[in-house]
Amino acid sequence: MSATRTAGERREVSSPTTPSRRSKSRASRGRPGRRGLWYTPWLYLLAPVALLVLFTYVPVVSMVSYSFTSWNGLSPTKRYVGLDNYVDLFTRPQLFQVFAVSLFYLVGAALQIVVALYFATILSFSTRFRNLFKGILFFPYLINGVAIGFVFLYFFQPGGTLDTILQPFGVAPHAWLGDPDLVNTSLAGVSVWRFMGLNMVLFLGAIQSIPPQLYEAAALDGASRWQQFRHIIAPGIKPILSLSAILAVSGALAVFEIPFIMTGGSNNSETFVIQTIKLAFNFNKVGLASAAAVVLLAIVLLVTMIQRWLVPDERVEMS
Residue 274 touching other proteins (CB under 8 A): no
Interaction residues for other proteins, span 127-146 (CB under 8 A): 145
Task: Out of 14, 15, 17, 267, point to the residue binding other proteins (CB under 8 A).
Answer: 267
Q: How far is the CB of 87 from other proteins (least distance, A)?
A: 14
Site string for other proteins, 216-255 (x = CB under 8 A): -------------------------------x--xxx-xx
146, 147, 121: which is closest to 241 by C-alpha? 121
* Per-residue DSSP letter, 55: I
Half-sphere exposure of 143 (CA within 13 A, CB side): 22
Backbone angles phi, psi at 31, to 5 degrees: -120, 85
> DSSP secondary-structure letter at 80?
B
Between 40 and 164, whose beta carbon lies closer to other proteins? Answer: 164
In terms of Cβ atoms closer than 10 Å to its own Cβ (0-12, 13-18, 19+), residue 79 is: exposed
Q: How far is the CB of 29 from other proteins (least distance, A)?
A: 32
Nearer to other proteins, 201 or 252 (CB): 252
Contact residue for other proteins among 68, 104, 119, 156 (CB under 8 A): 156
Distances (CA, A) of 126 to 49, 85, 120, 268, 277: 40, 57, 12, 45, 47
**Closest to 251 in 3D by CA, of 292, 290, 183, 199:** 199
Give the relative orientation of helices 99-124 and 130-142 as an angle to the nearest 10 degrees.
160
Which residues have C-beta within 8 Å of that of residue 63, sequence separation ≥ 6?
290, 293, 294
Provide the 8-state DSSP code for 73: S
Site for other proteins in 44-63 (CB under 8 A): 54-56, 58-60, 62-63
| Nearest to other proteins of 189, 236 (CB atom) | 189
Residues in binding contact with other proteins, number by CB under 8 A: 49
- To the nearest whole angstrom, how small is the minimum distance from the Cβ of residue 217 to other proteins? 38
> Quick check: 73 binds other proteins (CB under 8 A)?
yes
Between 41 and 59, CB nearer to other proteins: 59
Instruction: Estimate the crossing angle of helix 286-310 against helix 238-253, to 10 degrees.
Output: 150
**Where does this chain bind other proteins (CB under 8 A)?**
54-56, 58-60, 62-63, 72-76, 145, 153, 156-158, 160, 175, 177-180, 183, 191, 195, 247, 250-252, 254-257, 263-264, 266-268, 273, 278-279, 281-285, 293
